[in-house]
Amino acid sequence: MKFIINYKIVVISCLLFLACSKRETTAPERKNLQEAVFGNGYIKQEDEYTISSTINGLITEVNIKEGDLITPQNLLVRIKSDVPNVQLQDAYVVNNDAIRNTANNSPQILQIQAQINQARQQLILDQNNYDRYKKLKQTNSVSQLDLEKAESQYIASKENLRSLEESLAQIKNQLNLAVQRSKIQIENQKAQLEDYNVIGEKEGQVIEVYKKKGELVKIGDPIAKIGSGKYLIRLYISEDDITQIEVGQKLVVNLNTYPNHGFSASISKIYPGFNKDEQSYIVEAEFDKLPEKLFSGTQLQANIKVGERKNVLVIPTDYLVKGRFVTLKDGTEKAVVIGKQNKDWTEILSGITEKDIITKKK
């Protein structure tokens, strides 16, 4: 009985030893590898814009909600406008007063017109007197001095009439200019009043509404985000990778809203400048076929295919030890020179061949 117990112990020990010593093995193999550049980003619409407040005030109406379709001149939001309304009415009063002043029966024009009429009568008298003195001088009935005085009076009357007529024309110009200025003031007040009515710029869909009825807004505060046009993929690419990107390259996109599905797309635009805010270059791409549902702002990750390498010697990355060694079948570690790698595969440049058997170290 004792012998049987010992025999069982020996058998169990041997089985445990064999189980512990058994490890996964593989051999390097040749593969054709796709080279890709990683980028992350989000979905946006081709024409997205944010409507911001151009004045300070209290929101009295919000006529939109997320998902609404808008057309140009739709009233989206109204802001309280008591002061601009009063200023507009004042501008109309000033304009009406200016128009009345340009009429022929206005006090200013009547006053100077009366002076002109009087000056014309005086000119007629002085001209007749001068003509009479000229005839009398021909018979030496008046002195040369009297003739010269009559002539001076006639010239002065003529100059006075000319001056008054010029003044009338100048006053009319000033009054007409006052009318034009008052019209401009009306248009300015109307434009200012329009700032209190937030209008849609063009057709689109409301992506997000930032303000509610009763909230205060300041100049520059965003009120709503509007989007229109086709959906685009906006990607951020590092400085190390941007030189490998070209328009037309294919990529596989993984959307956060479709975590288990990859969508095919193509690079459509490469922005030439470095974006300091994102510390990246910006690239846009278009879907080859749109997903069933898309939402502006959806986060995503993408792998851009930049090339293919054929007949590359690789091993599974999890067989690599300490980043530069592999474990041979006999348990010894051997140094290898590696090339490019990802989470699945590591390129082997030298150190082992397809004939070597390597084990996964536990």
For residue range 282-320, what is the model confidence (pLDDT) as tens digits? 999 999 999 999 999 999 999 999 888 888 999 999 999
- Tell me which residue has tokens 């990355």: 317
Do residues 81 and 58 make contact, with C-beta atoms less than 8 angstroms apart?
no
pLDDT exceeds 60 at position 11: no
Across the range 171-180, mean pLDDT stands at 92
pLDDT of 2: 33
The SS3 assignment for 95 reads: helix
Alpha-carbon span 95 to 180, nearest angstrom: 8
pLDDT of 359: 93
pLDDT single digits (tens) 110-161: 999 999 999 999 999 999 999 999 999 898 888 999 999 999 999 999 999 9
pLDDT exceeds 50 at position 20: no
pLDDT of 183: 92
- E-strand ranges in the chain read 25-26, 29-52, 57-62, 69-70, 75-79, 197-199, 204-209, 216-217, 222-237, 250-255, 262-275, 280-287, 299-316, 325-328, 333-335, 337-341, 345-350, 358-359
pLDDT of 17: 42
- Reported residue count of the chain is 362
pLDDT exceeds 90 at position 280: yes
pLDDT single digits (tens) 336-351: 999 888 778 899 999 9
For the structural domain made of 36-52+229-307, what CATH number should be given?
A: 2.40.30.170
The SS3 assignment for 127 reads: helix
pLDDT exceeds 90 at position 74: no
Residue closest to 222 by CA, chosen among 210, 204, 207: 210
pLDDT single digits (tens) 185-234: 888 877 777 778 888 878 889 999 999 999 999 999 999 999 988 999 99
pLDDT exceeds 60 at position 18: no
* Average pLDDT of the residues of the chain: 87
Higher local confidence (pLDDT), 35 or 296: 296
The model's confidence at residue 80, banded by pLDDT at 50, 70 and 90, is confident
Q: What angle do CA 259, 265, 270 make, to 5 degrees?
A: 115
pTM assigned to the model: 0.55
Beta pairing, strands 29-52 & 299-316:
antiparallel
